[in-house]
Structure 1
């Protein structure tokens, strides 16, 4: 009788463990949420483009950023807002979209770029110069828009 119970328990445990291996946790896709608009300007004040923007203002939002997103439209971006100007270092861990990372100072002027950041790469992408804002857009847009050091942004929240 003990052998039968032991075999029965083993069989139940084996079957239930095997079924758990086949289960995959499905997560909901993270969708873009327009929280405001951001306009990029050339040094001379000429408007370059206006984007729909999401803001990353809390520690959690800044740590997560655009991770786990599978796409972003050309007219969309994420603006990271920090409380002080410091050298920044971003990376692409869990980020599936190639990005241009644009670092801006406390006056919202571009101070440096990391263009065409490779998805899922965990190497640091430093600002090299203190930054208080960081704008992430799809890779290739900084070049397409002919952005340069000294160009600037303005933004407003909804």
Structure 2
């Protein structure tokens, strides 16, 4: 999955790259822990990191499931409007749009598999965390949560 980097691109109706890739274990990235803290509760997810354009293009496409504590993190070099689509993504996802300070800009819950409709952040974000659809509601995660991770690259 790849972010579109400006609202202008959306207004020009440029095609949006989507979640892509195959689900073979050999192609999956190493995982890092991402912590979501809210109201005294801590949830730790072990997620793949999509650092390069190619990894972001591949994203979670063609996967048929995710572990309950799994997902994918899409960090950006600079904060920007995040825009994603679900092309060839077979499972619903919760997309958590994260500001530079770790606060949550927006949560798009249970995005529609294979949809070409853009899922857009509310403002500029530094990363997007994708989890299995329904995870945010199941764990009571909302926009008051804080998201942190250490990425050793």
4+ residue segments displaced more than 6 Å: none
1:41 aligns with 2:37: yes
Gaps of 5+ in 1: 1-26
Check the 8 A contact 2:29/2:49 in 1, yes or no: no
1:98 to 92, 97, 102: 92
Match of 1:87 among 81, 85, 96: 81
| Inter-CA distance 29–53: structure 2 relative to 1 (3 Å threshold) | closer
| TM-score normalised over the length of structure 2 | 0.78
Whether 2:68 is the aligned partner of 1:74: answer: yes
CA contact 1:111–1:150 (8 Å) conserved in 2:
no
TM-score by length of 1: 0.75
1:38·1:154 contact (CA, 8 Å) conserved in 2?
yes
1:34 Cα deviation from its structure 2 partner: 3.9
| 1:1-38 deviations in Å (ceiling 9; x for gaps) | xxxxxxxxxxxxxxxxxxxxxxxxxx974235442111
Shift of 1:47: 3.5
Q: 1:28 to 1:91 in 2, by over 3 A?
A: closer
Aligned residues: 130
Separation in structure 2 between the aligned mates of residue 28 and residue 135 of structure 1, nearest angstrom: 19
Flag the 1:64–1:146 CA change in 2: closer, same or farther, 3 A.
same
Check if 1:147 corresponds to 2:141. Answer: yes
Secondary structure in 1 aligned to 2:55? helix
**Partner in structure 1 of residue 150 of structure 2:** 156
* Other-structure match for 2:56: 62
Distance in 2 between residues matched to 1:122 and 1:28, nearest whole Å: 19
Considering only CA atoms, is the larger Rg found in Structure 1 or Structure 2? Answer: 1
CA–CA distance in structure 1, aligned partners of residues 52 and 66 of structure 2: 21
